[in-house]
Chains A and B, each alone.
Chain A
Amino acid sequence: MNESVSTSIMAPSGSRRLSLSWETSLRTGNPDISYAGDFELRSKSRVTLAEHISNYGRIPTGLSLNMIIETLRVANLTGRGGARFPMYRKIDAVANARTKKAIYIVANGSESEPLSRKDSSLLRANPHLVLDGMSIIAEVLGAKAGYIYVKDKEAHVAINAALRERRDRGINEVRVSVVEAPPGYVSGQETSVVRRIERGPALPRFSTDRLATSGIKGAPTLLSNVETFANAALILRFGGDWYRSGGVGYDSGTRLLTISGSVARPGVYEVNPGVSVAALLREAGASSVRALLVGGYFGGWINVRDESDLNFSFDDHTLADRKLNIGAGIIGVLSKDTCPVVEAAGIVEYLSRQSAGQCGPCVFGLPEISTAFARIALSSNVEKGIAELRSVIPLVEHRGGCQHPDGVIGLVRSTVGAFGDEIKLHKSGNCSVVGVNHRSVLLPTPKMNSGMSSIGGK
């Protein structure tokens, strides 16, 4: 196992590893949580190449494929886009793809999930870390070209500036191009990314092959989230054991989270898994919490009946016990003046309009699901809504060319499963929120998007 540190630089510790907040004064009192600030608030400039090298040391070179795979395996680095697939296995699959074609490497920073800001924050603040991860892995795989797929315009500018600095310094590495991600919820799906890089539309492609064997132009393609590459850059500098010194064993390192909704301090946080959810919400300034949406629009709910419902560890296993997955690192907070079922119905309706429009069951089924779900949310006819969901869901589930329809169904199921108490009220024509004024908290709005020139989309 390689634990050698190639420079005399001190490895960063605690929850400040990705350096989103080194220069801001927005530190929290909790060593497991650091706050990178709100998008609108944060004016932190990009870390230059010189600052980057002084923070983290030089880019490691000459690592062997086996060394990289073994170090990432020890680190237990998993994909930060939501799928949680072990990074070392992805690299291994691409390296062993039986083909004579060139290999491509792609960092996905499109962040098409409207509640996420962490990828844009990382790219705006510290693009060199992402580029380092791509560079090291591309070198050992002999990749022909690299791409960063990104929607946020400021992130785009930051990456281009970083690429210029690297060229000027004469760093010899894979050629990386920035590809602009168009708006739309499905534009960030893996196969959409590949099609866009091939200069096609950013729409999902149906395939029975994995990208590791058949991705861009049918060639083996290593595609992962930008945060995964940034973490790889740190692990390959400071070692797998160092990485595991943060977090809990099975969920190691740090994780970037975007916390939004009814909180005083929304924005991007870097946290050590294992921190308590209650502490996390305290730092974000949440009070009178009614529900949490964990993992974004394809995620699931926690019904918060009292404070004790928030006393659990934030980590993959504990969330999995509750049938939850942090996805791309998203927590949406609803306070007691919002009905979570109504909020969910708004999201389902939004998602039904975000279908790529390619597959019949998605095109025709999602509007039916949305209509049925609205009967439950609006307390108009809960029984009819449930009956309609029972009949239409089997006609939609597992029938899409991408994860979109199944993601919507997952959210519907989680809502019905988590809020039995609320739905019971709706059956009698009522709702827990008196004087119903359903202003959506978690849906994209022009204000939410104002800090970002193009994210979110319509």
Chain B
Amino acid sequence: MRIVIDPTRCHGHGTCAALLEEYMELDKWHYPLVHNDKLRDVHLESAKRAVQLCPELAIKIVDN
């Protein structure tokens, strides 16, 4: 599974970075900078919450 953020939708709310700090951090403009997109099972619940809570529907979990 992979974390995919649509950069055209993302407005830098930062919810995902708060929930998935193992995978990303916020850059100086407050946009998520993903350094590892390979989602591990142990973080699946956090990732699902990030998907639900993103006000822009910008983050997705995709297969492979």
In whole Å, how far is B30's beta carbon from the nearest beta carbon of chain A? Answer: 8
Let me know if A401 is at the binding interface, CB within 8 A: yes
Among B9-17, B38-46, B47-55, the stretch in contact with A: B9-17
In whole Å, how far is A74's beta carbon from the nearest beta carbon of chain B? Answer: 34
Chain B residue at smallest Cβ distance from A402: B8
Asked if A360 and B6 sit within 8 Å, CB to CB, the answer is no
Let me know if A407 is at the binding interface, CB within 8 A: no
Asked if B9 and A206 sit within 8 Å, CB to CB, the answer is yes
A395-B28, A395-B33 are known contacts. Are A360 and B62 too (CB-CB below 8 A)?
Answer: no
Let me know if A419 is at the binding interface, CB within 8 A: no
Let me know if B1 is at the binding interface, CB within 8 A: no
Q: How many residues of A contact B (CB 8 A)?
A: 17
Asked if A401 and B4 sit within 8 Å, CB to CB, the answer is no
**List of A residues within 8 angstroms of B33 by Cβ:** 395, 399
Partner of A395, one of B9, B10, B27: B27
SS class of chain A's interface: helix, strand, loop or mixed? Answer: loop
Asked if B7 and A360 sit within 8 Å, CB to CB, the answer is yes
Chain B residue at smallest Cβ distance from A405: B7
Partner of A401, one of B7, B27, B29, B62: B7
**List of B residues within 8 angstroms of A395 by Cβ:** 27-29, 33
SS class of chain B's interface: helix, strand, loop or mixed? Answer: loop
A360-B12, A360-B31, A361-B29 are known contacts. Are A399 and B62 too (CB-CB below 8 A)?
Answer: no
**List of A residues within 8 angstroms of B12 by Cβ:** 360
In whole Å, how far is B1's beta carbon from the nearest beta carbon of chain A? Answer: 13
Let me know if A318 is at the binding interface, CB within 8 A: no
- Pick from A206, A362, A400 the residue with the most CB of B within 10 Å: A206
Asked if A358 and B8 sit within 8 Å, CB to CB, the answer is yes
Asked if B62 and A400 sit within 8 Å, CB to CB, the answer is no
Chain A residue at smallest Cβ distance from B31: A360
In whole Å, how far is B13's beta carbon from the nearest beta carbon of chain A? Answer: 11
> In the complex, what distance in Å separates the CA atom of A395 from the CA atom of B34?
10
**List of B residues within 8 angstroms of A65 by Cβ:** none
> In the complex, what distance in Å separates the CA atom of A196 from the CA atom of B52?
30
**List of A residues within 8 angstroms of B8 by Cβ:** 203-206, 356, 358-359, 401
> In the complex, what distance in Å separates the CA atom of A400 from the CA atom of B30?
15
Chain B residue at smallest Cβ distance from A363: B29
Asked if B7 and A361 sit within 8 Å, CB to CB, the answer is yes
Let me know if A25 is at the binding interface, CB within 8 A: no
**List of A residues within 8 angstroms of B28 by Cβ:** 395
Chain B residue at smallest Cβ distance from A359: B7
Q: Which residues of B contact A (CB under 8 A)?
A: 4, 6-12, 27-31, 33, 62
A358-B8, A360-B10, A400-B7 given; name 6 further pairs at CB < 8 Å. Answer: A205-B8, A206-B6, A208-B62, A359-B7, A360-B12, A361-B7
- Interchain residue pairs with CB less than 8 A apart (24): A205-B8, A206-B6, A206-B7, A206-B8, A206-B9, A208-B4, A356-B8, A359-B8, A359-B10, A360-B12, A360-B29, A361-B7, A361-B27, A362-B7, A365-B29, A395-B27, A395-B28, A395-B29, A395-B33, A399-B31, A399-B33, A400-B7, A401-B7, A401-B8
Q: Which residues of A contact B (CB under 8 A)?
A: 203-206, 208, 356, 358-362, 364-365, 395, 399-401
